[in-house]
Amino acid sequence: YKFKFDSLIGMEAKQEEVFDRVGRPCVQNALEGFNSTIFAYGQTGSGKTFTITGGAERYEDRGIIPRSLSMIFGEMKKYPDRQTNAYISYLEIYNNQGYDLLNEDHQNTKDIEDLPKVSMLEDEDGNCHLRNLSMHRVASEEDALNLLFLVRPTSSNDMCPVTE
């Protein structure tokens, strides 16, 4: 196999550097009206959750999502006269199947595969739509972080069985 990379971020990189190189450009594109996606992929225990959500103990360990939320709500505050709404969804793909981690049944579920499945549909214009993915309106960065950390204690590391 041959691979080509635009850049690599080493294991010693701090969360701030990861956000500056990966998250900030995506958030800026989204704020300018373009679709943006940040996708973490890797084997169990490789650091995806830490990179995306961050560490819970030190502010400097905030991951891509908390830093993105801070940037988004910071921009929204700059324009208090504009009517803006923010919505949060949280999708996890496990074994090629999507699951809504903010589904109301999440707190009562021990196994991610017991959550309702999210399916992807493509319309005639090539736009993707996610069926069964909940959207939650949030009024502040704090509201959004509360939703994020509502999910975190039972995220994939705890809910998904380890394959050997």
List binding-site positions for ATP: 42-49
Rounded Cα–Cα distance for residues 11 and 97 (Å): 29
| Residues facing 128 on adjacent strands | 122
Longest Cα–Cα distance of the chain, Å, equals 54
User: Binding site: which residues?
Assistant: 42-49
In SS3 terms, 88-135 reads as: ECCEEEECCEEEECCCCCHHHCCCHHHCCEEEEEECCCCCEEEECCCC
Q: How many CB atoms lie within 10 A of CB 145?
A: 19
